[in-house]
């Protein structure tokens, strides 16, 4: 079979350098690339770099006599299987939404009859600007696919959502579009919990933890990409809601349990949230004031509902119940004890000791334990790759279960 052809439009942003990795890794997977470099894009990467990695000529000018005679912008837009815009800047997004074609890139986007995938990248304030929000809504209505952006530190020094998706994320999105039948969880329903919970001490203070929700959100996204209908129950996090997922925002453990039970019945439950084990017995309606000479207040704690154990023993128990064990020592022994105590099917254990970088970090190191006694130690992986590996494991498990059922 001939390789799938990608028309890659490289926009003018610092994230353009990631396109070099995208082309390199994409060719390793059997994809063929033709690249279009915008005027802004060539300020960050060179035509020679893209041509060397793609093995193809790089196109830049709309009114190039040679290019128009040899191929023309119409043929260039039609001979691809997929058009990818990365980075998709605020300017490019605005032009796409308005139907403006004033250079080669935007003219190609108007002329193509193929699917279009964009990877937005810009300053967080620009991403959150009402104009960009409106433009993105229009593009989604027009059927444009989107991957990212991700939260994190920006080149401008600010922090927030706006970083372009990594090469492996864009490739996963490309492959999902080009191979739409490869959705092993089509028809399955899933619920995922993510992030921390907050347990009120008074109207302005709470008990919580350092969970970023990055792993849980990645799992919800990967399940949706595999075809599942996903409900994500999320505590307070900075992560954006994943595309194609129904997200329910909660604060407390009791609210999370109620939202999870409302999502039942489901086939798959993944409890990745870091739920507070205890909450204050009383939460006054007024702020607790510090008074001169008075003793520090005593806060009585009561146990929160155990969401993982509740699901594992629920009358409408999911076919597969997966939990996480965040430990700070003796990882395997503590995780095995939790697996038995909770009654779930799998536990994904990780070491969150100080210095591990797991809470709030980009990567994770997993020890997977099953109720059948299996054990798998995964290497340190990006949290999105952890999510994809888990989803593949889930799909294989459910397929085997169906074969033996």
Tokens 């706006």 belong to 162
Q: Is 277 annotated as a binding residue?
A: yes
Q: Residue 216: which residues within 8 A CB-CB, separation 6 or more? A: 192, 193, 194, 195, 232, 234, 270, 272, 273
- At 125, list the tokens: 């304030």
Q: Is 338 annotated as a binding residue?
A: yes
Q: Would you give the end-to-end CA distance of the chain in angstroms?
A: 36
DSSP 187-202: T-EEEEEESB--EESS
Element (H, E) at 163: strand 159-163
Backbone CA torsion sign across 257, 262, 265, 270: negative
Reduced to 3 states (helix: H, G, I; strand: E, B; else coil), residue 120 is strand
Q: Is 324 annotated as a binding residue?
A: yes
- Contact status, residue 107 vs residue 101, Cβ threshold 8 Å: yes
**Within the chain, what is the greatest distance between any pair of CA atoms?**
87
What are the residue numbers of the active site?
Answer: 156
Q: Is 342 annotated as a binding residue?
A: yes
Tokens 């509740």 belong to 310
Q: Is 287 annotated as a binding residue?
A: yes
Question: Residue 230: how many CB atoms within 10 A of its CB?
Answer: 28
- At 191, list the tokens: 């619920």
Residue numbering of the annotated binding site: 277, 287, 305-308, 324, 338, 342
Residue numbering of the annotated binding site for CTP: 277, 287, 305-308, 324, 338, 342
């Amino acid at each position: 079979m001939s390789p799938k052809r990608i028309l890659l439009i490289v926009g003018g942003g610092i994230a353009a350098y990631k396109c070099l990795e995208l082309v390199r890794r994409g060719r390793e997977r059997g994809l063929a690339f033709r690249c279009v470099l915008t005027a802004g894009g060539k300020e960050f990467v060179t035509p020679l770099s893209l041509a060397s990695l793609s093995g193809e000529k790089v196109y830049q000018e709309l009114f190039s006599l040679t290019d128009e005679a040899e191929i023309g912008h119409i043929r260039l837009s039609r001979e691809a299987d997929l058009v990818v815009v990365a980075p998709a800047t605020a300017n490019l997004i605005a032009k796409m939404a308005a139907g403006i074609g004033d250079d080669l890139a935007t003219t190609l986007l108007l002329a193509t009859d193929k699917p279009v995938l964009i990877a937005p990248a810009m300053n967080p304030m620009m991403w959150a600007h009402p104009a960009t929000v409106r433009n993105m809504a229009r593009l989604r209505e027009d059927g444009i696919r989107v991957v990212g952006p991700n939260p994190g530190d920006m080149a401008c020094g600010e922090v927030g959502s706006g970083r372009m998706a990594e090469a492996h994320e864009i490739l996963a999105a490309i492959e999902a579009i080009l191979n739409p039948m490869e959705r092993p969880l089509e028809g399955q329903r899933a619920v995922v919990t993510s992030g921390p919970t907050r347990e009120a001490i008074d109207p302005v203070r709470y008990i919580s933890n350092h969970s970023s929700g990055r792993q849980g959100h990645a799992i919800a996204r990967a399940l949706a990409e595999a075809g599942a209908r996903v409900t994500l129950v999320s505590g307070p996090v900075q992560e954006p809601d994943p595309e194609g997922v129904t997200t329910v925002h909660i604060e407390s453990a009791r609210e999370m349990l109620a939202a999870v039970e409302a999502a039942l019945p489901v086939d798959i439950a993944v409890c990745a949230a870091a739920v507070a084990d205890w909450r204050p017995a009383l939460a006054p309606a007024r702020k607790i004031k510090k008074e001169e000479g008075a003793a520090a207040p005593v806060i009585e704690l009561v146990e929160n509902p155990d969401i993982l154990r509740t699901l594992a023993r629920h009358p409408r128990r999911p076919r597969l119940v997966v939990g996480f064990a965040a430990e700070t020592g003796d990882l395997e022994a503590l995780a095995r004890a939790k697996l038995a105590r909770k009654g779930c099917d799998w536990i994904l254990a990780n070491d969150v000791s100080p210095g591990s970088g797991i809470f709030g970090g980009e990567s994770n190191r997993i020890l997977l334990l099953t109720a059948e006694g299996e054990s798998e130690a995964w290497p340190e992986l990006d949290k999105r790759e952890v999510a994809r590996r888990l989803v593949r494991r889930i799909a294989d498990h459910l397929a085997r279960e169906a074969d033996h059922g």
